[in-house]
Amino acid sequence: MRYVSTRGQAPVLNFEQAMLSGLARDGGLYLPETVPGFDAITELDGLPYEEIAFRVIRPFTGDSFSDAELRGAIDRAYGRIEHAAKAPLHQLAPGHHLLELFHGPTLAFKDFAMQLIAQLFQIALKRSGQKITIVGATSGDTGSAAIEAFKGIDNVDVFIMFPHGRVSEVQRRQMTTPDAANVHALALDGHFDDCQARLKDLFNDHDFRDGVGLAGVNSINWARVVAQIVYYFTAAASLGMRPMDFCVPTGNFGDIFAGSIARAMGVPIRRLIVATNQNDILHRALTTGEYRVGEVHPSISPSMDIQVSSNFERALYLAYGGDASAVSQLMAELKQGGFTISQGALQSLREQYLSGRVSEEDTLAMIRTIRDETGQILCPHSAVGVAVARQHVEPGIPMVTLATAHPAKFPDAVERAVGARPELPPHMAGLFDLPERVSRVENDVDALKALILERRTN
Ligand SMILES: *Cc1c(COP(=O)(O)O)cnc(C)c1O
């Protein structure tokens, strides 16, 4: 399997190389040259999650990993998810199902991808003897998933910058309590945008980048998308592989893009619905064809508070028929504030995706409604998804909404909605008693570099 960049100017890579490099050298995102078909799609029901994962992921990894290596990585990764089904499907109302993706160690769907790629990094780095330094910026969920997944992995140090004082206590503790020497939580004096800007500074300093073997595991890493394809297969298998719709709480477009790949592989997905909060650039783009960057308005579903949805570039590339120069042109215009999607590409995107937006009040109201109707407490991101899905449910067609995080990760929003704070699941009960380990760092690239060089264990 060969991977090409959406901007057409970077070397063609294999799976392992695309995984280790994250972003392509031309600034683009890697995609497989062709999407593999899937045989025997109707024979999956009843198989363990790990077996379906192996069958779905295998065609993408090519000769980067042996079957035994891939199976081992999958078993170790998903052994840490505290539910026998891993991604259980749960009926909310007749014809409307919730796909629960929050039973992993950090209580958000990001564990599904991060746990697996940490295992794959481990195998690849052991083989090559290479040592790398992963640096990431997070508004909460990605950083905790990365630290939890990479703690104790050989040949890797992980540094995660989060905005000091601006993540929830559960999110912060998930980053600061793991005690492995190779993971490092950095509280940066600034906003999330400052964290992202300093991250870019590090990657743009090529001496530093090559010196420490800088690598990224943010949501544009193709290997993360691949891991997320699997649960579309498991959900569809348990509903009998008949035509169905999926609604996905969306920020960077990674999770829903994985759904479009599942469909291309043969899963009978009829409509993929993009659910956004008040930061609705994707909903506006699909409605009007204008992709215009505005201000980020902090919301109660913070993991979807984005201005630029990075994985959307992959959907654009496909909608423009693989025209990398057209995509490069759009991305150049994006630097000036936005672009207009061509009529043909917009039509193609609308055949692939529907969209909807939910206000803050309606999100809180939906948490209450679902509590009243079913007793289940949703996290605010999942509530955005359920609210949009309910506008689109059609009789006879199953609707699956992805529940992207556990409510206990966002206790303030849940308390505002229903007047009580959700409890942490039993496997996390000790979180508030563990000692925290965190380095405060100035919003300054030189201070950051010095800290990384001093703390690195590899
Ligand atoms: C990351 C995240 C999202 C958004 O997912 P994308 O793949 O970025 O679209 C939604 N909900 C939660 C809880 C998340 O952590």
Q: How far apart are CA 65 and CA 415, in angstroms?
A: 46
CATH number at residue 383: 3.40.50.1100
What confidence tier does 341 reach under pLDDT thresholds 50, 70, 90? very high
Which pLDDT value is given to residue 306? 85
Which pLDDT value is given to residue 112? 98
Does 308 or 232 have the greater pLDDT score?
232
Distance 3 CA to ligand 1 centre (A): 24
Least-confidence region, from 30-44, 95-109, 244-258, 311-325:
30-44
Residues 409-420, mean pLDDT to the nearest whole number: 96
Chain mean position to CA 151: 19
pTM: 0.95
Which pLDDT value is given to residue 31? 97
Task: Give a yes or no: residue 95 inside a domain.
Answer: yes
Task: Give a yes or no: residue 365 inside a domain.
Answer: yes
Distance 279 CA to ligand 1 centre (A): 13
Residues 168-191, mean pLDDT to the nearest whole number: 94
What confidence tier does 142 reach under pLDDT thresholds 50, 70, 90? very high
What confidence tier does 110 reach under pLDDT thresholds 50, 70, 90? very high
Interior angle at CA 91, CA 40 and CA 79, nearest 5: 60
Which pLDDT value is given to residue 141? 87
Atom of ligand 1 nearest to the CA of 254: 7
Distance 304 CA to ligand 1 centre (A): 6
Nearest CA to 248 out of 237, 260, 264 is that of 260
- Return the percentage of the chain with pLDDT > 90, whole number: 85
Residue range 88-104, pLDDT digits in tens: 999 999 999 999 999 99
Distance 454 CA to ligand 1 centre (A): 32
Atom of ligand 1 nearest to the CA of 255: 7
For the chain, state the CA radius of gyration.
Answer: 21
Residue range 61-85, pLDDT digits in tens: 999 999 999 999 999 999 999 999 9
Least-confidence region, from 13-22, 199-208, 279-288, 413-422:
199-208
Task: Give a yes or no: residue 116 inside a domain.
Answer: no
Close Cβ partners of 356 (under 8 Å, ≥ 6 residues apart): 273, 274, 275, 276, 283, 387, 388, 391, 392
Helix (H, G, I), strand (E, B) or coil at 274: strand
Res 140 pLDDT > 80: no
Strands 132-137 and 156-163: parallel
What confidence tier does 216 reach under pLDDT thresholds 50, 70, 90? confident
Q: How far apart are CA 382 and CA 218, in angstroms?
A: 21
Task: Give a yes or no: residue 226 inside a domain.
Answer: yes
Choose, from 86, 110, 126, 409, the residue flagged as catalytic.
110
Which pLDDT value is given to residue 200? 83
Range of the domain at 241: 89-104+222-418
Residue pair 167/140 in contact (Cβ under 8 Å)? The answer is: yes
Residues near ligand 1 (Cβ within 6 A): 108, 110, 141, 219, 249-255, 303-304, 381, 404-405
* DSSP alpha helix (H) spans, 66-157: 67-78, 110-128, 141-150
Q: Is residue 110 among the annotated active site residues? A: yes
Q: How far apart are CA 323 and CA 318, in angstroms?
A: 8
What confidence tier does 164 reach under pLDDT thresholds 50, 70, 90? very high
Which pLDDT value is given to residue 324? 98
Q: Go through 37-72 and write b for each residue having 16 or more CB atoms within 10 A of its CB, e for each that does not.
A: ebeebeebeeeebbebbbbbbebbbeebbeeebbbe
Mean pLDDT of the chain: 95
Residue range 310-320, pLDDT digits in tens: 899 999 999 99
Atom of ligand 1 nearest to the CA of 252: 8
Task: Give a yes or no: residue 263 inside a domain.
Answer: yes
- Token match 């994250």: residue? 22
Count how many domains the chain has.
1
Residues 204-219, mean pLDDT to the nearest whole number: 89
Strands 3-5 and 30-32: antiparallel
Which pLDDT value is given to residue 428? 86
Task: Give a yes or no: residue 342 inside a domain.
Answer: yes
Task: Give a yes or no: residue 250 inside a domain.
Answer: yes
